[in-house]
Structure formats: C-alpha cells, structure tokens
Structure 1
Amino acid sequence: MGSIKLYFDVRDIFRAPRLALSGKKIWIFIVGNLGGFILYWLFSYLALALAGESFTSALAKHGLYPCLFGYEAEWYAWVTYFIGVEAWIIAIYLAATAVSRVTLKQLKGNDFFSAGDAWTFVQKHWHPVVFAPVSITLIIVFFMSFAGAFAFMGKIPYVGEFLFAVPYLFYFFGSVFTIYTAFVLLVSLHYTPAIVGTYEEDTMGTVFQSYSITWSQPWRVIAYHIVLIILLIIAIPIFTFFWYAGYGLVNYVFACEWFMGGKLTGIMDYAVSLVCPGSFCSIGSGCFSGGCISASLSDCFSNCLSFLSCTVPASAGPLSGTESVAGVILAISLFLIGLSIFSYGLSIVSVAETIMFIIFKKKSDDDDLLERKDEDELEEDMDDDFNFDDNDDDTESDDSDGEKSDETSSEDSTDDSNSDSDDEEKGPNSDG
C-alpha cells in the first residue's frame, strides 16, 4: 500500500479523528493508561496512609479514584502522591510516542506495524521522552538560580549597585531568554512524543527541535491547536454516542422481563457503584475546589454518571455471591469502556501533533518525513544487502565447486582413455 498524500497544511489536521479511530492506537493508550493508573492508585493510597488515613476507610471513601487534595498532609505525603501523578503522565507520554510511531508508519503506507513493534521502539527511545522536558526545565532553573545569585550579591554595600547597573543588559536578555524557554517547555510538553516517534531524536535533539518549532512556527502551533480543540469537541461526543447506544441496547435487551429482568439491575447497579460511585462528583470537585473549575468538573462527573445509568426494572433483592462476582467483572468492562473514550481523545491529540510536526519539518527544513527512511527501513536495507552478499558468495562457491568437479571428471576421462590405449597395444603382442 502506498503512502498517504498530505497537503502539508491545516487541511491535514482534519484527518486526525479518522486516523485516530483505530483499535491499535486506542489499545496502546488503554494499555498506557492502565499501567499509569495502577501506579497512581498505589502511590495515592500510600500517600493517604502517610496522611494518617487507614486503608480500609480510604478505600471505602475513594474507591477506584483516590485523591490527596482536601487532606492536611505532610510534605512527604504530597511528594508520594505527585510521584504517582507523574508516573501516570509518563505512561501517557510513552503511549503517545508509540501511537506517533504507528501513525508515521501508517502515513508511509505500512499498516502492518503492530502495537508490539511500537512498544519495542519506545523501549529503545524512552529517554528523550522523559528527559527532554526535564532538561528544558533545568535550563529555566539554572537561569533563575543565576539571577538569584546576582540579586543576592546586589545587597553588598557600595558594590551591589554596580553589580546591578553595569551588567543590566545581560540580565535583561537572560530574562527574555528564560521567558522564551518557558514557552519552549510548553511546546516540548506537546510535541516531544511526536518528535521522538517520527524523527528518532535523542534528548538534545528533541530539545533543539522544541526550540526550533517555538521560534519558526509559533502561529501554526496556535492555529493548528485551535483546529484540534474544535475537532476534539466534535469527535469525542460522536464516539461517545455510539458507545452509549451500544451500552443502552445491551441493557434494553438483557433487562427484558423474559430474560434477566430485575437481576440485571442489581448487577449493573453494583458495577456502576464500583466504577463511578456517588461520591465521585464531590471528590472530583474537592480535588479542584473553587469557582468555574468545580462547576465544570461537577458537570463532567454528572455526565459520566448519566452515561452509566440504565433504565431497567427494579432489583428483586440483595445480590447473591455469583451476582457480586459478575458485578465486579462487569465493573472492569465498564471501566475499560470509559477508558477507551479517554484513550480515543488522546489518540486524536497524538495523531494530530504527529501530523503537525511532519508539516513543520516540511515547511521549515523542506524535509519530507514520509520520504525519509527511518531506522527500521535502514535496518531492512542493511539486512537485504547482507543477504545479497551471502547469495553472491554462495554462487561463487557453487561455481568453483562445479569447476573443480569438471576438472576431476576430465582427468578421469583422460585416465580412462590412456588405459584403453595401453590395452590395445598389449593385445597384439600377447597374440604373437
């Protein structure tokens, strides 16, 4: 299959929702989110324990979604909690790198590049994904520390005034560069997975590409992300609608009185209480208390709860043991369904930013990444050359063996002819 033709402008961004609607890409993000969520869950409950909350009471209060906000906790509890948050973010970034790699291969026409191949690539190139934003952050910290040191020396009597006035231009341009680097950090947080997944850069190369994009493509970054936000607002509700329709159809059929009837209500209510408990709205609002953020989150969580609601007959009574086990299994399925919606949104973002970076390289450096051979293709070419040389050697050895066999056969025929001539000469002499 040939490569997908790109226009290398904003029109290509509109391909993102369609290219992101791939089971392979969504599954990669589901795996990444599951791994990150498990780490977040463990570190969050450890942080709650350090804050003095027992595990049983914390589990009863928070369930699947622990949160340290709203607690009076020591600094080490907060550090533990944010380690879990960072672990989840890193897992999403690694998954985004894998999806970016799959997207590049798909744009090149290779639809057989698997999720396992993408994760293998991530295992080889995870360092710049993690350390490129860290490096840019350290640059900002260095300049701020440098400025703080000179500001402290400004307190020296008589000399401090000159230490401020004489190198003021140096301070000024250093401050401007620090502000510029802060914008570079924002760009890096968006494009690092795409840079690594498509251009196979190391940490320093990724930092350089982030500076280059910020300097040469600022308006495209802003304009393309405005388009991306609009696409997200349209695509995710459409995707959710079909998920909701399938969910409702299953409930409608199985909840019929001829089939499961009231039994479904008990199992479904128990599963929903595990995945999206009633306290979820208050917990989410408590984590980000204040103003419109709290109101927005309350609406978000209410929509989540309405998605998991079902209109079925009333439950006949308490759940049996098998129904409770079935409810837990069903809760896992519901959690994965909700996670797939979130993963589809992340897939759209990852695909769009991969396309953006391909456009940026074409616009700024006239470098078509779809025509450029990546490391996998170079390795395949090397393997083909190696196999071709081996075939040549085998052919030469076969030719030499054939020549030797021909020489041997010719020598044998010569010996046979000589022996025949000797017999003819001896024959008359013996008769006489």
Structure 2
Amino acid sequence: MTGKKVSERLHFDFRDIFLASRLALSGKTIMAQFIGLGVGYLLWLIFTYLAWLLSGLGLSQTWGLYGFFPILDFSFSGTPAWICFLIGNLLFLLLWLLSSTAVAQLGFRDLLGDPFYPLTHGYRFAFKSLPTLVFTPGLILFFIVLILLFGVILGLVGRIASIGELVFSLVYLLPVFPVALALAYIILNFSVSLFFTPAVVATARSDIFDTIIEIFTTVWRQPWRLLVYSGLLYAVAKSAAFVFAYFCFRAAQFVHLSCGLLMGEKLERITATALNYLPRESVIFSYFTNLSPRIRFGFHLPESFHWGPLGGPENVAAFLLGLSFIVIFFFVISYFLATFSVGQVLIYLNLVKRKDDKNLLEEEKAKAPSTTPTNEVTSGSFE
C-alpha cells in the first residue's frame, strides 16, 4: 500500500476492525500491554493476599489454597479486608487504563506511518493523560452517585407519615421517572467510558470534558455502529488470542519433546509440577484454551500426575518453570487486550468519520507534516 495517503489506509467501515489483530501482533505492542497487566496484577495479588490476611487466613494457608491466582473465592470477612481488596481492584483498573492508552497511542502512531514510535513514549503519553483517564469515568460516576443520592433523599421524604407517600406519587412522573431514565443512559456511558476513554485520548488528544462529550455524543449518535463494531472486535480479539495461545501451546510441546529425549522422566516430573502453578480450573484459563464456550474446539494441558516429592533442585526448577508458564499465559492475555485496545482506536476513527465527517488521521498528519525517511518508506505496510 506504499504511496497511498494516510486517509486511504482505512475503509471507514466494518472491514477496518479486522486490522486490529494484525496491528496488535507486535512485540512492542504486546509488551506495552503486558507491562500494565503484569504490574497491575501483581499489585492486585498483594492487596488480595492482605485482604485474606485481614480475614484471619495466614499467608501459607492462602498460598496453599490459591497460589498465584486467588481468583475463585472472595469470601473475605470484615470491612478492612474488603477495603483492601477494593484498593487492589482500583489499582489494577488504573494500570489497565494506562497500558491500554499506551497501546492505543502505539496503534494510532502505527496507522500514521510511524511503526518505530517507542514504547516508552507511549507510556509517557499515557502518564501525561492520567488525569483524563481517571476523571473522565470518575466524573460520570460522580453524577451517577449524585442522582442516586437524590433518590435516597426522596425515599426519606416518602417515609414521612401521611404526606410522604403523597409527595412521592406526585413527583414520580415528573421529574423522578425522566431523571431515572437519564440515569440509565448515564450508566451506559460510564460503562463505555471504561473501555473507550483510552482510544479517545490517544486519537483526539482531548481533555476531561472533551472526552466526556465525545463519549456521550458517540453513544447517542452512533449507538448501533458502536454496538456492532464492538461485537465484531470482540470476535476478532477472541479468535486471534485463541490462535496465539494455540501456537504458544505447540511451541511448549516442541520444547518438551526435544528436551525430553535426554532429560527423560526428570522433565516429566518438573513439568507436571510447574503446570500446577497455572489456574487450570479457572474460567479465565479455559476461556483462552477454547475457541468458544459453546463450541468444543480447543486444546488441553496434560492431566495432573503425582510423581511424588521432588528434590530441592527439582522444586526450584519446577517453580521457575511455573513462572515461565505464567508469563506465557499473561502474554496471551496481553495480546487479547492489545487487540481490543487497538480495535477501539479503529472503531473511534470510524465513528468520528461518520458523525463529524472528520478524519483524525489526516488532521494529525497535518499537525506534523515532516516525517523521517524511514517512516515514509514503511508507512504503508498494512495491506
């Protein structure tokens, strides 16, 4: 596609969504998502362990029950434990927003013909945009809480003897019901903002209020395209992640077969123990090892086999190998999330073109008309 203008790289319809898996299949892009996922999960893991500790469960007990993945049971006891768990979830969400913005920026620069845009610059942009990333959904959530608070106040008025129920009945049609209807719409926009804000910030360079306006106008003016494109993007990301996971699985098998010729039973013992560090029984793991929950098409790890106690060096080797398997698993998840992040950029570029007749790629190119010779040569490598 060399020689075409920037505006000609996209069709500005559903066909662009299929570019997401290809744009995300880059070591730099996957690593950008992996950094946020890894750091975010590590913080979440620490605070989840603290929550279990505050609930009266010791560290050794928690490790014996859950290992690296305490994701199947959240029956904490006591308010401090739940607060600790909530902090961990908020930190994970923050890291996810940062990494998604960095990936969205990398994808946007790639579409502009700058495939050598550094990963560090992507994260620098993400941290610079941190107030917008936090306060865009934060302000929308504030309005939701404010409206709900008025509902609580109305409920208190309704408790007044004799006149409370009368007041409630009089104001129900106007203004209570229209406000409740608006609340449902605001909640929808809040949900969209959690996924869409990184794409808007990366492409439009918008501040907090501009980002909120963009999200609301997009949901209002292009709801069906947003819904259909998002569903298509999910299918693309899921299929691409499954294929990537399958190749990782086969690569691990090749390593096992070649090294097992000489290592023999020792490798079998180490591998069987190392695989137990993965969350093999969780929904998340089966999600990436199967194409669809309703279609029995996927791959499965070998069944657990008890080899008896391992020696000291073998235990250490199994632990290190287990960490390697976890890193590979996180890379698969990172590719899925990176495809989703880049796809959101493609969706937003399409929707802005539809609702405002604006080509954000052309506008960004006009702001910085000079590019390096290398970028000019490689700028059309998407078809």
TM-score scaled to structure 1, two decimals? 0.76
Q: Provide closer, same or farther for how the CA distance between residues 123 and 254 of structure 1 changes in structure 2, counting only shifts above 3 A.
A: same
Counterpart of 1:51 in structure 2 is 55
The percentage of counterpart residues that share the same residue type is 30
- 1:306-356 CA distance string (max 9 Å, x none): 7543999x97x7544333333232222211111111111101111111101
Matches within 5 A, 1:26-37: 26-37=30-41
| Contact 1:68-1:78 within 8 A present in 2 as well | no
Aligned to 1:309: 302
Residues 1:299 and 1:348: Cα distance change in structure 2 (over 3 Å)? closer
- Using the TM superposition, give the Cα deviation of residue 98 of structure 1 relative to its aligned residue in structure 2, in angstroms: 0.4
1:250 alignment counterpart: 255
Match of 1:220 in 2: 225
Instruction: Pick the aligned partner of 2:156 from 152, 166, 175.
Output: 152
Q: What is the aligned length?
A: 359
Equivalent in the alignment of 1:327: 318
Higher relative contact order (CA 8 A, sep 6+): 2
What do residues 408-428 of structure 1 show as CA deviations (whole Å, max 9, x unaligned)?
Answer: xxxxxxxxxxxxxxxxxxxxx
Deviation (angstroms), 1:115: 0.7
Q: Find the aligned partners of 1:165 and 1:93 in 2 and give their Cα distance.
A: 44
Separation of aligned partners in 2, 1:17 and 1:73:
42
Q: For residue 188 of structure 2, what is the amino acid of its counterpart?
A: F
Write the letter of the residue equivalent to 2:65: K
Describe the shift of the 1:298–1:68 C-alpha distance in structure 2 as closer, same or farther (beyond 3 A).
closer
The 5 Å alignment of 1:78-227 reads: 78-156=82-160, 160=164, 161-162=166-167, 164-165=169-170, 168-227=173-232
Question: Deviation per CA, 1:195-244, whole angstroms, max 9, x where unpaired?
Answer: 11111222222211111111111000111122123223422221122111
Unaligned ranges ≥5, structure 1: 285-295, 381-432
Q: Distance in 1 between matches of 2:249 and 2:277?
A: 19
Q: Are 2:106 and 2:117, in contact at CA under 8 Å, matched by a contact in 1?
A: yes
The answer to which of 61-70 and 335-344 deviates more is 61-70
Deviation per CA, 1:32-83: give whole Å up to 9, x if none.
1110111011101100011110111111221111248353511221221122
Residues of 2 paired with 1:219 and 1:98: CA distance? 27
Contact map agreement 2:76 2:82 (CA 8 A) in 1:
no
User: Could you say what the CA RMSD is over the residues aligned between the two structures, in angstroms?
Assistant: 3.0
Partner of 2:357: 366
C-alpha deviation, 1:192, in angstroms: 0.8
Structure 2: gaps of 5 or more residues: 291-297, 372-383
Aligned to 2:277: 274
Q: Which whole-Å CA distance do the structure 2 matches of 1:156 and 1:318 have between them?
A: 70
Cα distance in 2, alignment partners of residues 134 and 244 from structure 1: 40
1:260 aligns with 2:263: yes
Return the letter of the residue paired with 1:131. F
What TM-score, normalized to structure 2? Answer: 0.85
Q: Shift in Å at residue 364 of structure 1? A: 1.1
